Amino acid sequence: MPMNSDIVYIVDDDDSIRRALKRLLKSAGYHARTFASAEAFFEFTPDKGRGVLVLDIQLPGMTGFDLEEKLTSKGTTYPIIFMTAHENRQWQKRAEEIGAISYLKKPFDENVFLDAIGRCLQ
């Protein structure tokens, strides 16, 4: 099991998604912390990008892309896994341009998700 000090931060407005991903990560040996909005994560922002950011794109208020831009502008970067329930080629292209480790369409296979987390922490 991976057990390390890096944390997986999950930002999604859907409580059931946050709980399911946190439970999955815990079972795989990862530490996870969840946030219901991009604003909540931005206010919290831990020290200089330690960990992984799993970020829903379509959030009320600040979007996932908005959050990534704000973090980058203040010098904080994370390996990012973007996720969305909506098919959108422009979003996928933007995620690739940003350098996201993965772009996942919900619902996604848990093994694909855990593989992406592993790549982020290498």
Q: Using the structure block, give the residue that is written with the tokens 């390390």.
A: 4
- Determine the pLDDT at residue 48: 61
pTM over 0.85: yes
Q: Which residues pair with 47 in a beta bridge?
A: none
Query: For residue 31, what pLDDT is reported?
Result: 94
Is residue 100 within 8 A of residue 52, CB to CB? The reply is no
- Domains, the chain, ranges and CATH? 7-120 (3.40.50.2300)
Residue 40, phi then psi, degrees to nearest 5: -65, -40
| 3-state class (DSSP) for residue 55 | strand
* Chain mean position to CA 20: 14
What pLDDT sits at residue 47? 60
Alpha-carbon dihedral sign for residues 79, 55, 87, 118? positive
Q: Kindly give the residue spans of alpha helices, DSSP state H, lying in 1-122.
A: 15-27, 38-44, 64-73, 89-98, 110-120
For every one of its 122 residues, what pLDDT tens digit does the chain have, with 9 covering 90 and above? 455 568 999 999 999 999 999 999 999 999 999 999 999 999 997 766 578 999 999 999 999 999 999 999 988 889 999 999 998 999 999 999 999 999 999 999 999 999 999 999 88
